[in-house]
């Protein structure tokens, strides 16, 4: 069972005292509020070793507000019209979930060097939020120590999973007891999802990992009730669709179903197409469906292993079934750009500008050196992801030249951005929208082009966060 004694502990002495230390007026958060203040919700805290200037507060992947971290590493939000629900806060590439109700005053403390493990809450809903983060950490720990669990028989595996689920349900009951009141239906739903779905995820993986662990020739034959939990699952639950444990399970279920179709029928060897067809038949939420159709096709587009026929099949299916016009436009542009950047072809002439306003030939810059030309996206989360990964890649591949190109900012904002990220001006350039090459690179994706030292394209369309990105660079290093 979890160690829950910390759930009632107030790490900051009191919410009021901490908010006072954050420089927020007593009238805005104290026990006595004016009638105008009663509808506001407050969220603040302290970030040790901040990795950027801002904290972003979001709902359903849409940024609602941002707060600047002050010289004392503290921040605060005063939020209007907050509904009971699940929110996220982002700092750098990291994020975590928050459970909030109207008029709450919630505080956090965290150290970015140990983001999730150091995160603690105080104030209203602190116990519930501490419970959720503890649930996440306990699951990470369990999975790390359970790798050999996939060697177990079906019966022993299910028994181990059921035992862990019971322990977590007991911990939830203890939380309710310590709180002294029944939680909202929404919180119970979120908490139960955080308990069950990580284990459903493991059960979906069991036959594949058991086969690999025991070096079997075929997938193990499972009893009829092994997947009985599926009967209780709604794959289109709007309350949970952006909650990590549920979202991860749904994607895993859909992907493995698509892969198993290929295992059962070798003619269904276009797994991306299998996936899109399953998404189209089982997902009714229009936004989620369109998003997954697009993600699947983008995966196909960046693959070096799909034939042109397979890519065309996936593309045709996407355009026939995606109802989001913006995604369709973005995909059409991407298909055209991919066709213009074929593997083995020459990089087209690219003229950009440095911070001094001088023209620079990207082709000459990359001459005689393997290079990754990457493009900064607009999306804040993608920017932070790219920035963090870039630092590690430069250390890992010191012989590869990394060239950053901005496509959308004004020159003034771009220069400020370079300064805020401590980027070398020697490797950062801006592309004019009037440039002949702009159409090759237009868009908002964290996209890259990998170019060999002879000027030939190694991969003309690959995303910075693609799981095959490192694989491509390693291959480049060996050539």
Which stretch of 10-24, 41-55, 293-307, 420-434 has the lowest confidence by average pLDDT?
Answer: 10-24
Predicted confidence at residue 382, as pLDDT, reads: 66
**pLDDT average, residue stretch 430-451:** 82
Average pLDDT over residues 84-98: 89
Closest C-alpha among 338, 358, 340 to residue 349: 340
Contacts (Cβ under 8 Å, ≥6 apart) of 374? 386, 390, 402, 403, 404, 405, 446, 447, 448, 449, 464
**Cα 303 to Cα 314: distance, rounded to the nearest angstrom:** 12
CA-to-CA separations, 59 to 83, 97, 477, in angstroms, rounded: 10, 10, 41
Query: What is the CB neighbour count within 10 angstroms for residue 338?
Result: 15
Integer Cα distance of 429 and 375 in angstroms:
10
Q: Is the pLDDT of residue 377 over 60?
A: yes
Residue 450: beta bridge partners?
372, 459
Q: How far apart are CA 262 and CA 449, in angstroms?
A: 31
- For 5-141, CATH number? 2.60.40.10
Mean pLDDT of 190-207: 97
| Mean per-residue pLDDT, 438-465 | 83
Range with the poorest average pLDDT among 217-231, 270-284, 453-467: 453-467
Is residue 359 within 8 Å of residue 439, measured between CB atoms?
no
List the domain boundaries for the chain: 5-141, 351-478
Are 199 and 165 in contact by the 8 Å Cβ rule? The answer is yes
Q: Is the dihedral of CA 87, 89, 90, 95 positive or negative?
A: negative
Average pLDDT in the 354-377 region?
Answer: 89
For residues 263-276, give the mean pLDDT. Answer: 92
pTM of the model: 0.83
What span, in angstroms and rounded, lies between the C-alpha atoms of 212 and 207?
Answer: 9
When pLDDT is cut at 50, 70 and 90, the band that residue 3 belongs to is: very low
Give the C-alpha separation, 447 to 450, whole Å: 10
Query: How far, in Å, CA of 366 to CA of 449, rounded?
Result: 12
Most confident of 217-221, 307-311, 340-344, 409-413: 217-221
Strand partners, 462: 448
Just give the CATH number of 351-478. 3.40.30.10
**Poorest-pLDDT segment among 236-245, 270-279, 369-378:** 369-378
- Confidence at residue 475, expressed as pLDDT on a 0 to 100 scale: 78
Q: What is the pLDDT of residue 1?
A: 39
Same fold, 5-141 and 351-478: no
Average pLDDT over residues 328-355: 88
At 128 the pLDDT is 94
Query: Would you place residue 234 in the very low, low, confident or very high pLDDT band (cuts 50, 70, 90)?
Result: very high
Query: H or E element: which one contains 351?
Result: strand 351-353
Mean pLDDT, rounded, of the chain: 86
Q: Using one digit for the tens of pLDDT, what is the confidence trace for 12-30?
A: 434 444 444 444 433 334 4
The pLDDT of residue 380: 61
Statement: residue 99 has pLDDT above 70: yes
Q: Who has greater pLDDT, 268 or 389?
A: 268
Strands 105-111 and 94-100: unpaired
CB 44 within 8 Å of CB 17: no
């Amino acid at each position: 069972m979890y160690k829950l004694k910390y759930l009632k502990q107030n790490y900051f002495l009191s919410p009021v005292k901490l908010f006072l230390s954050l420089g927020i007026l007593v009238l805005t958060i104290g026990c006595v509020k004016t009638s105008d203040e009663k509808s506001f919700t407050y969220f603040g805290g302290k970030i040790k070793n901040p990795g950027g200037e801002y904290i972003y507060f979001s709902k359903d992947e849409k940024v609602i507000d941002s707060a600047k971290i002050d010289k004392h590493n503290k921040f605060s939000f005063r939020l209007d019209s907050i509904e009971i629900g699940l929110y996220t806060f982002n700092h750098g590439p990291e994020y975590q979930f928050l459970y909030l109700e109207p008029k709450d005053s919630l505080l956090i403390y965290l150290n970015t060097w140990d983001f999730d493990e150091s995160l603690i809450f105080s104030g209203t809903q602190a116990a519930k939020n501490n419970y959720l983060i503890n649930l996440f950490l306990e699951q990470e720990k369990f999975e790390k120590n359970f790798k050999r669990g996939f060697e177990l028989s079906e019966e022993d595996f299910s028994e181990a999973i059921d035992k862990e689920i019971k322990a977590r349900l007991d911990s939830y009951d203890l939380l309710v007891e310590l709180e002294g009141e029944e939680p909202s239906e929404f919180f119970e739903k979120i908490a139960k999802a955080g308990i069950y779905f990580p284990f459903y995820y493991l059960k979906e993986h069991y036959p594949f990992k058991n086969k690999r662990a025991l070096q079997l020739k075929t997938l193990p034959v499972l009893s009829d009730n092994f997947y009985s939990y599926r009967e209780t699952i709604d794959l289109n639950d709007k309350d949970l669709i952006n909650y990590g444990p549920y979202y991860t399970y749904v994607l895993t279920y859909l992907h493995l179903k698509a892969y198993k179709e290929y295992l059962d029928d070798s003619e269904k060897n276009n797994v991306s197409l299998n996936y899109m067809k399953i998404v189209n038949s089982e997902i009714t939420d229009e936004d989620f469906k369109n998003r997954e159709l697009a993600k699947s096709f983008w995966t196909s587009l960046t693959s070096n292993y799909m034939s042109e026929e397979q890519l065309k099949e996936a593309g045709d299916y996407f355009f026939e079934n995606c109802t989001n016009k913006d995604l369709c436009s973005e995909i059409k542009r991407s298909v055209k750009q991919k066709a213009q950047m074929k593997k083995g072809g020459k990089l087209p002439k690219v003229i950009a500008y440095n911070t001094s306003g001088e023209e620079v030939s990207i082709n000459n810059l990359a001459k005689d050196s393997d290079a990754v030309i990457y493009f900064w996206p607009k999306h804040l989360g993608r920017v932070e992801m790219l920035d963090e990964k870039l630092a590690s890649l430069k250390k890992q591949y010191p012989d590869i030249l990394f060239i950053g190109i901005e496509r959308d900012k004004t020159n003034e904002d771009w220069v400020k951005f370079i300064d805020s990220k401590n980027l070398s001006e020697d490797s950062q350039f801006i592309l004019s929208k009037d440039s002949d090459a702009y159409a090759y690179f237009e868009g908002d994706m964290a996209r890259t082009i990998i170019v060999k030292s002879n000027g030939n394209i190694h991969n003309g369309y690959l995303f910075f966060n693609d799981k095959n990105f490192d694989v491509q660079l390693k291959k480049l290093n060996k050539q």
